[in-house]
Amino acid sequence: MIADDTLTRLARLHGTPLYVYDLDEIEARVRTLRTALPGARLRYAVKANPAGAVLSRLAELGVGAEAITVGEIARAVRSGIPAADVLVGGPGQGPDLRALARRLAVGHVSLDGAGQWDAWRDAAPAGTRFLVRVNPEFDPRTHEHLATGAVGSKFGLPLPAATALAERLDAEGRLAGFHVHAGSMIEDAAVHREILRTVAPLFDRFPTARTFDLGGGFAVPSFDLGTFARTVRPWVAERELELIVEPGRWLVADAGILLTRVLWWKDGTPGHWICDAGMAQLLRPALYGAEHPIRVVGGGSAEAGSGDVDGPLCENADRLGRNRTLSAGPGDLLAVERSGAYGMAMASSYASDLRPAEVVVQDGRDRLTRLRETPEDLWRLEDAAVTHR
């Protein structure tokens, strides 16, 4: 945990809003996961937090990447992750992405449908291995936006269609295994038992399929990693399968803090702390109704009160938290915790707001790793386009 005096100093030095990431916490999470799942291949879901400093540290720790866009593949490789340790997923996989993945010869591709294989098959790199993504079509008991394995989800293939695609791949000697990602923020261990029951017939039918990608989606902070490991490890060992997991949020969420300054308190029912950060910096509360712990850094300057923690933009959804009790007054520093995942990754320049700077802390030392945007950054590409004409 980063000390309050450090957070206060960083906010004073770099301004707010400001993202701060604890690389030691990320390393500890990697160790925990490897202890629970020895031998499993870790493929970090880059979309959770694509910061170069985070990716570089994961590369040093020997963690690979799960990428769904050209930018994510390029970021991962630029940060030192070998292309052989990159797994390409997602329902898109357009021509630019395929071209880059072919040129780099990525390690795995998860096929989301038969049309993707039609696009890949004539120029698939010899060393790239292909997985078939299965939609288990059950309720993973999470927010509907996060339920990627539910009936009607755009992700993966129902069992009959997955079987048919696997038969095509197997006939051409390109079937590596199967991939299931039931959803994100999964708390109930029974979900993974249902996944195993769903894919067992596939591994029985295709003896050449030796890789099982179980995705990620582990809930923060309440995922029961012990029960998960006790459920999955013997099942994989019995079948002598190579296990891949794609942790994203679980590795980085608790390592990140969004620092924001209270601009003023606004009386009302409820009252409102108007802050310099909101949905442009942290979209999750507006998008999912996500709740993040919020606290005053170093003690507040006001009596305890209750209200909403809101941002500065002209949107009613521009909110960081509802019905909070804080001892905060104008000028006080707030820490929006558990913001290391899908925080800066979803940040935008909506209303021409400026995206924040990023700082990492490691071994008691901190360094600025991303500059705060300037107004000139907002129109830099526009000016470049005019110059290019």
- The residues annotated with a catalytic role in the active site are 314
CB 22 within 8 A of CB 45: no
**Separation between Cα atoms, residue 270 and residue 111, nearest integer Å:** 48
Start-to-end C-alpha separation, the chain: 50
No. of helices (H) and no. of strands (E), the chain = 12, 17
Distances from the Cα of 340 to the Cα of 88, 185, 249, angstroms: 22, 15, 8
CB 280 within 8 A of CB 249: no
In eight-state DSSP terms, residue 311 is: -
Residue with tokens 């990525």: 106
**Separation between Cα atoms, residue 283 and residue 80, nearest integer Å:** 29
Tokens standing for residue 374: 């300037």
Show the DSSP H helices in 89-209 as ranges: 95-104, 114-120, 159-171, 190-205
**Separation between Cα atoms, residue 102 and residue 126, nearest integer Å:** 9
Q: Torsion over CA of 56, 59, 60 and 61, rounded to 10 degrees?
A: 130
